[in-house]
Amino acid sequence: MAERDRWRAASMALLIVLSGALTASFRFLGTPEFNNDHFVHLTAAQQVLFGEWPTRDFIDIGRPLQIVASAAAQRLIGHNLFAEALLVSAAFGVAAALTAAIVFTLTGSALFAVGAVAVEVAAFPRTYSYPKLLAIAAGLWVTGYFLRRPGVVRQLVMAAGVAFAFLFRHDLGVFVGVGGLVASVLASPAAPWRERCRSGLTFAVMVMVLVAPYLVYVQVNGGLSNYFVTALEQNQAEAGYVWPNPFAEGDAWDAQLLYLFHLLPVVVLAVCARDWKRGWDGWRTPFLISVACVAVGVNFGLIRDVLRTRIPDAIVPAVVLGAWLAHRAWLGRRRYVWIPSTLVFLVAGCALADAANIGEILNRTGLDGETLLQPRSLADRFAERSAQLHDRFGSGSPSRAAYVLRPFFRYLDRCTTEEHRLFLGGLIPEVAYLAGRPFAGGGYEHYNFSSPANQQRVVERLRGQLVPFALIPSGGDTELVDLPIVAGYLREHYALLADLSLDGNERIEILIDHDLPSMARDAETGWPCFTAGGRT
């Protein structure tokens, strides 16, 4: 028995290491340029390096740990996209390793664990979605850790997993917290309900104690009410849950995957109810009920239009439940059950891979058969990708605005310093990052400071900052039509410097503070220089 346990532990360790390392490598090579959505938190991370903090100095809608993680990577590795790519790839690798550990522990099968990881990787969520996989996978793992041997210390570890998820994204903390609460209540099936409820209450108190310091920080720096109202307003603006026709032409695969994701927890709960009547299956039944509850929250909380890009965000609980169901069907040895179950799991994985355009991703990585047989070629791909990410513009432009503004970025290099800020009047966070300049006013997503209180706060900050330029997408005040206080301040203090065309009718205006004295004129553009070094 001891020899078997050692073999099992060694197999699990090897599986975890390989899953993490291979997934991280695949993500590093296969990820294209970061799109502008990724720069929402990356630009905030840059702001931290300039000495400012989320909520205290600029508006944050609930992702402090993601911002701080990117800031730490930029500080330790370098101010470039290479550092962010390493962080993102490592996070996806850890999420895959945790998924492998969960499924292997749940089923005892390395084959099903590998299958679960393969489907998770093939879904290829967008780069900025890594907290959704990492935090949920970590939350599920600590939930299983608690249920395998319930106790106060392990329950505290589970509560720490909820706090970890909450600080990455508040809604992730809610999803994982529900799973932990269910696990706390179901951990001791023979105990009276009063004792179970006491366990659930203890868990809730643990979570509140762990997140309390951050909530106090928010209250001191602007107030919890305004903080959560701002976050809810954005969530409502982005909400768009759909129930599409699963047989319609065009996006049928996406719709069918959506319904499959919703069906999985229902089926698992039905099987668990059947097991409950027959007697508990150790820790597995309460664990699967907890995972199913997390899956329901994740499906409704993270999946919205456009389905192709949002379904992968909910992949972790789906592959855990799907792998367990397929394994359970296989154990039944009834072909009419396990063959269809396994086929559904495989087809779903293929559909996710197709939605992610896995063929293009494989071409991007260069991981074809010939390359795999030539280690030097593989090393060259890593070196080439690293060089692209170290180059300011080497990995492509995250948006048309970033591409058009490249000459402006070089002008800023010549004629401004890091003390000179940019006001961003639209969803163009990549502009501040690529410019290497802090954003102004404490706001860089225009819809996050639309309330009068937030607008007033932005204007007050603008008055005390050195802000030579404001960049307004789509022309004039049209992007600021719902921000009358901010728009009024800009009309009073700024004048048009340049009007650049993007795509179609889209434009971006560069406004300059007409009261700010310049020290020279830039020889290349004729625009004002605000540093003596810019004189030519």
pLDDT in tens, the chain (536 residues): 577 777 788 888 888 999 999 999 999 998 878 888 999 999 999 999 999 999 999 988 889 999 999 999 999 999 999 999 999 999 999 999 999 999 999 999 999 999 999 999 989 999 999 999 999 999 999 999 999 999 999 999 999 999 999 999 999 999 999 999 999 999 987 788 899 999 999 999 999 999 999 999 999 998 888 888 887 777 766 666 667 766 665 566 788 888 889 999 999 999 998 888 777 668 999 999 999 999 999 999 998 877 888 899 999 999 999 999 888 888 876 665 666 766 776 777 777 776 667 777 777 676 655 555 555 577 788 888 898 898 888 777 888 899 999 999 999 999 999 999 999 988 899 999 999 999 999 988 766 777 888 899 999 999 999 999 999 987 544 467 678 899 999 999 999 999 999 877 888 999 999 999 988 999 999 999 998 755 44
Given this model, what pLDDT does residue 369 score? Answer: 54
The confidence score (pLDDT) of residue 240 equals 64
Q: Which two tokens stand for residue 289?
A: 């009920």
pTM beyond 0.75: the answer is: yes
Secondary structure element (H or E) that encloses residue 107, with its range: helix 81-107
Element (H, E) at 414: helix 406-415
Q: How far apart are CA 295 and CA 50, in angstroms?
A: 38
How many Cβ atoms are within 10 Å of 373's Cβ, its own excluded? 9
Comparing CA positions, the residue from 148, 145, 157 lying closest to residue 206 is 157
pLDDT for the residue 169: 94
Distance, in Å, from the CA atom of 82 to the CA atom of 270, rounded to the nearest integer, reads 46
For residues 177 and 160, the answer to whether their CB atoms sit within 8 Å is: no
CA-CA distance, 527 to 509, in Å (whole number)?
15
Residue in 89, 39, 78 with CA at minimum distance from that of residue 398? 39
Q: Cα(308)–Cα(288) distance, rounded to whole angstroms? A: 27
Q: Which residues contact 355 (CB under 8 A, 6 or more apart)?
A: 123, 253, 254, 257, 308, 311, 312
* Interhelix angle 2-30/110-123, nearest 10 degrees: 10
In this predicted structure, what is the pLDDT of residue 535?
Answer: 47
Q: What is the spatial distance between Cα 533 and Cα 512, in angstroms, rounded to a whole number?
A: 20
Domains of the chain: 2-30+80-223+252-356 (no CATH), 400-534 (3.40.50)
Report how far residue 310's alpha carbon sits from residue 331's, in angstroms, rounded to the nearest whole number. Answer: 33
Quote the CA–CA distance of 409 and 414 in Å, as a whole number: 9
What is d(CA 445, CA 118) in angstroms, rounded to the nearest whole number? 35
Residue 515: Cβ within 10 Å count: 9
Strands 422-424 and 469-473: parallel
